[in-house]
Amino acid sequence: MTNGINRRDTFKAALLPFVAAQLAAKPAAAQTGGGSVVVYLSRSGNTRVLAGALSRRFNADLFELRPRDPWPADYDEMVDWASAMREQGNNVPLAEDLPGIDGYDTVFQCHPIWGMDLPAVTASFLQSHDLSGKTVIPIITHGGYGTGDAVATAQSLAPNARFTEAFVLECNQERDDMASLNAWLDESL
């Protein structure tokens, strides 16, 4: 926390007005029917913060995407794993499927960027769940390199869904904090 502002409040302040505008822009027909679900993938916790805020704000169900076989805990091993999964066509068995997908009309799709694209786990979700006719609101976090091909990839994997504009947030807080700490340590010790 710096000057009374913390990362969670900053995320929410940036995210919630954007999402409210996206929901207000939905056609009337799409506003009737089922509820909302926040489907998220988070390795470091940044995206989890946003997903939780969305779930609470919009009284939406919360569903965490996880691979059936856990990914490596070590960051470098994780990068290698993610690259291998992408090269193999993003076909990662999920730990579980989202039950009752037909009961939702809005899907908040929250994920980070891995290798300038969708994470393989998110791609597998989109490949294995029929989102036809649903409004998909992409919420994307990244570490400074932008969204890459993630939006186009998601749209190609769920071609019959109605995608809104993506909300994109750079989540570099931890890296900035570590750089500051290391600089201080170098100067002070």
Residue boundaries of the structural domains of the chain? 7-22+33-188
pLDDT lower than 50: segments of the chain:
1, 24-33, 189
pLDDT computed for residue 84 by the predictor: 87
In the 3-class helix/strand/coil scheme, how is the chain assigned residue by residue? CECCECHHHHHHHHHHHHHHHHHHCCCHHHHCCCEEEEEECCCCCHHHHHHHHHHHHHCCEEEECCECCCCCCCHHHHHHHHHHHHHCCCCCCECCCCCCHHHEEEEEEEEECECCECCHHHHHHHHHCCCCCCEEEEEEEECCCCCCCHHHHHHHHCCCCEECCCEEEECCHHHHHHHHHHHHHHHHC
pTM for the complete prediction? Answer: 0.75
pLDDT computed for residue 29 by the predictor: 34
pLDDT computed for residue 174 by the predictor: 52
> What CATH superfamily classification does 7-22+33-188 receive?
Flavodoxin domain (3.40.50.360)
